[in-house]
């Protein structure tokens, strides 16, 4: 979903997911891909609202318009690395990337939940 878009109604199918932060990488909103963080920036960034839609295996196999590689990014409820591990993964969300997905594994890139400021 494009950055800055705040849906006012539920999607026709699937769900919108907000309140996620990417850690140890950044999100390029122009190209909608993961990018390495710059050296003068922090290690996390809020990402735009995600629209998660169900697809069948048949639909997935017939989708030939794959532009980018995909990193199966783990989602945790906490940004605290001491609470991470396979047993604490909430889900894996495929995120598009121009880089080899193993780069993100080595960088320990993950999504974590956060509560946005209620005053916004």
Alpha carbon of residue 44 to chain centroid: 12
pLDDT digits (tens, 9 = 90+) for 50-69: 888 888 777 666 555 567 88
Q: Which tens digits make up the pLDDT trace of 70-94?
A: 999 999 987 777 776 777 888 999 9
State both tokens at 55: 């697809």
Query: What does the block give as tokens for 75?
Result: 């989602």
Q: Is the pLDDT of residue 105 over 90?
A: yes
Q: Which domains does the chain show, CATH number per domain?
A: 15-113 (3.10.490.20)
∠ CA 9-92-108, rounded to 5°: 120
The pTM assigned to this predicted structure is 0.77
In sequence order, which ranges of the chain are alpha helices (DSSP H)?
Answer: 57-62, 101-106
Alpha carbon 118 to chain centroid, angstroms:
22
């Amino acid at each position: 979903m494009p950055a800055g878009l705040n849906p006012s109604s539920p999607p026709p199918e699937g769900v919108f997911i907000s309140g996620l932060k990417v850690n140890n990488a950044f999100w390029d909103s122009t190209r909608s891909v993961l990018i390495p963080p710059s050296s003068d920036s922090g290690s996390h960034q809020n990402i735009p609202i995600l629209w998660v839609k169900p697809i069948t295996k048949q639909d997935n196999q017939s989708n030939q318009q794959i532009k980018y590689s995909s990193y199966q990014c783990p989602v945790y409820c906490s940004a605290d690395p001491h609470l991470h591990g396979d047993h604490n993964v909430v889900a894996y969300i495929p995120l598009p990337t121009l880089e080899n997905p193993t780069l993100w594994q080595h960088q320990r890139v993950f999504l974590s939940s956060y509560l946005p400021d209620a005053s916004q």
